């Protein structure tokens, strides 16, 4: 089994290839070719440990263990490890740090949604929040669209950043809305990756209710109980959303006019981690990176 550290993963993950890898995995998922279980979790006094298991033909078979400890100050609030398995034999093939992958695949999936849903002439991007997900979005969104202006806003600056923006990306853990429907310009695309575990929502409920198109990664995950789902989507209902993979494959429509408000709400799903981890593993094998260890001796 190949073991890869965080610094090795950071050096091996091809961010330019990540968007296409995510698109393939999402298309497989919505077509019924992939399999995953919505995230389940065990709650500790100060955080939660989540388990995310999945399989996709283009990304392989694997599991991510991820913790969310919101009060962490000397380390990441999200920390993770990813284990990959041979889909034909079930043999463990790799164990790698998943903290960097979690950050980058979340931003990359939102960037992919922006590529598909934002107006063709979108040029102004507003990123709300200044943490890890904000920095990841600053890295990934320009890979999806050619923005002329990128606004990064902290607390107290959200309204000014949203006004006039073509794309608004919320990355906070705020229990109160950081983006209001009244602030949005006609035709704006909104995405939200902030956690709802704190009991509040970073989105104005009116955005969920009044958006012309609402896109999720997978219905089963989006409408599952916490720590998997997004309770703010409940008023919309399963029939009121479409999956990202459905838009990629053309089985569902995305934006159909310039004035429509579109929304992408992320909860994070296993095939996104697997798509990124598969890129890392392929690059590691090509470059001879990582350390091989033997978990079990196999005798003929």
- pLDDT, one tens digit per residue, over 60-92 is 999 999 999 988 999 988 899 999 999 999 999
Q: How confident is the model at residue 300 (pLDDT cuts 50, 70, 90)?
A: low
| β-pair type (78-85, 60-68) | antiparallel
Tokens 């990441």 belong to: 76
Q: Is the pLDDT of residue 206 over 70?
A: yes
How many residues in the chain? 300
Closest CA to 36 of 50, 15, 19, 16: 50
Residues 76 and 128 in one domain: no
Judged on CB neighbours under 10 Å (0-12, 13-18, 19+), 114 is buried
Q: Is the pLDDT of residue 32 over 70?
A: yes
Q: How confident is the model at residue 299 (pLDDT cuts 50, 70, 90)?
A: low
Residues 263 and 126 in one domain: yes
Q: Is the pLDDT of residue 226 over 90?
A: no
The domain tally of the chain equals: 2
Residues 52 and 192 in one domain: no
Residues 220 and 143 in one domain: yes
Provide the percentage of residues in the chain whose pLDDT is more than 70: 97
Of 49-53, 226-230, 279-283, 296-300, which range is least confident? 296-300
The pair of structure tokens assigned to 216 is: 């999720």
How confident is the model at residue 296, as a pLDDT?
A: 72
Higher pLDDT, 173 or 151: 151
Q: Is the pLDDT of residue 283 over 60?
A: yes
Q: What is the mean pLDDT of the chain?
A: 95
Residue ranges with strand state E in the chain: 2-4, 35-44, 47-56, 60-68, 78-85, 92-97, 124-128, 149-153, 167-170, 189-192, 213-216, 242-243, 262-265, 291-292
106-158 per-position pLDDT tens digit? 999 999 999 999 999 999 999 999 999 999 999 999 999 999 999 999 989 99
Residues 86 and 213 in one domain: no
Residues 97 and 137 in one domain: no
Q: Is the pLDDT of residue 103 over 70?
A: yes
How many Å apart are CA 18 and CA 232, to the nearest integer? 28
Q: How many helices (H) and strands (E) does the chain have?
A: 9, 14
How confident is the model at residue 196, as a pLDDT?
A: 67
Residues 60 and 185 in one domain: no
How confident is the model at residue 292, as a pLDDT?
A: 95
CA 141: distance to chain centroid? 12
CATH number for the domain spanning 169: value is 3.40.50.720
Buried b (16+ CB within 10 A) or exposed e, 63-90: bbebbbbeeeeeebbbbbebbbbeeeee
Single pTM value for the model: 0.94
> Domain range spanning residue 31?
2-102+271-292
Q: Is the pLDDT of residue 198 over 70?
A: no
Residues 172 and 254 in one domain: yes
**3 state SS of 65:** strand
The pair of structure tokens assigned to 111 is: 């960037």
Tokens 């043999």 belong to: 91
Q: How confident is the model at residue 200 (pLDDT cuts 50, 70, 90)?
A: low
For residues 177-181, give the mean pLDDT.
96
C-alpha distances out from residue 20 to 25, 75, 109, 145, Å: 9, 30, 10, 14
Report which secondary-structure segment, H or E, holds 137.
Answer: helix 132-144
| β-pair type (149-153, 124-128) | parallel
CATH number for the domain spanning 67: value is 3.30.1780.10
């Amino acid at each position: 089994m190949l073991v890869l550290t965080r610094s090795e993963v950071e050096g091996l993950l091809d961010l330019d290839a990540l968007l296409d890898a995510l698109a393939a995995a999402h298309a497989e998922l919505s077509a019924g070719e992939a399999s995953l279980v919505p995230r389940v979790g065990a709650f500790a006094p100060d955080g939660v440990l989540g388990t995310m298991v999945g399989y996709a033909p283009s990304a392989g078979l694997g599991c991510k263990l991820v913790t969310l400890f919101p009060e962490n100050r000397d380390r990441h609030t999200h920390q993770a490890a990813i284990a990959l398995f041979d889909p034909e034999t079930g043999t463990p093939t790799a164990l790698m740090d998943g903290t960097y992958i979690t950050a980058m695949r979340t931003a990359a999936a939102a960037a992919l949604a922006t590529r598909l849903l934002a107006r063709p002439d979108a040029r102004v991007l507003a990123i709300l929040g200044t943490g890890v997900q904000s920095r990841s979005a600053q890295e990934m969104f320009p890979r999806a669209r050619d923005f002329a202006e990128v606004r990064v806003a902290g607390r107290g600056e959200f309204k000014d950043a949203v006004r006039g923006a073509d794309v608004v990306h919320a990355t906070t853990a705020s229990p109160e809305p950081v983006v209001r429907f009244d602030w949005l310009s006609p035709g704006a695309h909104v995405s939200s990756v902030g956690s709802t575990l704190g009991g509040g929502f970073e989105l104005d409920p009116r955005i969920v209710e009044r958006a012309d198109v609402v896109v999720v990664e997978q219905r089963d995950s989006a409408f599952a109980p916490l720590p998997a789902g997004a309770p703010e989507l409940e008023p919309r209902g399963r029939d009121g959303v479409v999956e990202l993979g459905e838009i990629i494959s053309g089985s569902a429509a995305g934006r159909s006019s310039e004035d429509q408000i579109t929304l992408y709400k992320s909860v994070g799903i296993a095939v996104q981690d697997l798509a990124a981890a598969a890129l890392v593993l392929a690059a590691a094998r090509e470059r001879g990176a990582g350390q091989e260890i033997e978990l079990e001796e196999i005798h003929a």
